[in-house]
Amino acid sequence: MSHLIKLSIIVTSVLCCSLVALAQEVGPSPQPTPLTAPPPLRTISKEERTQVEGANDAKQRLKLTIEFAGVHLTNAERFTAQSNYEAASHEVGSYYALIKNALNFLADLKRDSNKTRDLYKRLELALRADGPRLTTMRRLTPIEFAVWIKEVEDYAREGRTEALNSFYGHTVVRDSQKTEEKPREKPNP
């Protein structure tokens, strides 16, 4: 008798599971990932380029570049708030181009100079302030545009790292350059 009860419980369980499996609707096929918007043009306007390259000295050039980049970032924030993501994307592309131009310009200068370090510090401070602004914009932007803002955000972070590394010069040994050293022996008194 107990075998008969166990067998009926198993058969009932199998039937219930089969009915539940058949009753479930086949869900919609997975949607393909949304296409991203085209990448923003990373260009500097002719007027801005003329003003930046016409600056008297490196300090003035960097100051103009940071000001122009700040204006583009402010415009991008305004367009994002108005849900005009294409215009915001264009402004973020201009911001990227200006920061890249500044980093390329600073890379060509003498690294051991205090003036160069001061310029890097100025750029680092600007990029530090821009980081949270880019993050906020990215979070408010639809995914198809946000991927490009994330790319610019990462580039600005890398630029900040490069600016900070300029303070360490060639006296710091990087992890990949370390050689195994023997521990120093204590001198005998």
Q: Would you say residue 189 lies in a domain? A: no
Give per-residue pLDDT as tens, 154-165: 999 999 888 888
Q: What is the mean pLDDT of residues 144-152?
A: 91
In 3D space, the residue among 147, 130, 121 whose CA is nearest the CA of residue 58 turns out to be: 121
Range of the domain at 118: 46-169
Helix 85-107 and helix 46-53: axis angle, to 10°? 20
Q: Would you say residue 58 lies in a domain? A: yes
Q: Which long-range contacts (CB under 8 A, 24 or more apart) does 124-129 make?
A: 124/160, 124/163, 124/164, 126/66, 126/69, 126/70, 127/99, 127/156, 127/157, 127/159, 127/160, 127/163, 128/160
Q: Would you say residue 183 lies in a domain? A: no
Q: Would you say residue 69 lies in a domain? A: yes
Number of domains in the chain: 1
Q: Would you say residue 127 lies in a domain? A: yes
Average pLDDT, the chain: 82
Q: What is the pLDDT of residue 153?
A: 92
Give per-residue pLDDT as tens, 55-111: 889 999 999 999 999 999 999 999 999 999 999 999 999 999 999 999 999 988 887
Least confident of 20-29, 44-53, 123-132, 158-167: 20-29
Q: What is the pLDDT of residue 113?
A: 82
Helix 85-107 and helix 114-140: axis angle, to 10°? 160
- Residue 29, pLDDT above cutoff 70: no
Q: Would you say residue 14 lies in a domain? A: no
- Residue 48, pLDDT above cutoff 80: yes
CA 14/CA 170 separation, integer angstroms: 72
Q: State percent of the chain over pLDDT 90.
A: 51
Q: Residue 62 in contact with residue 105, Cβ under 8 Å?
A: yes
Q: Would you say residue 16 lies in a domain? A: no
Q: Would you say residue 187 lies in a domain? A: no
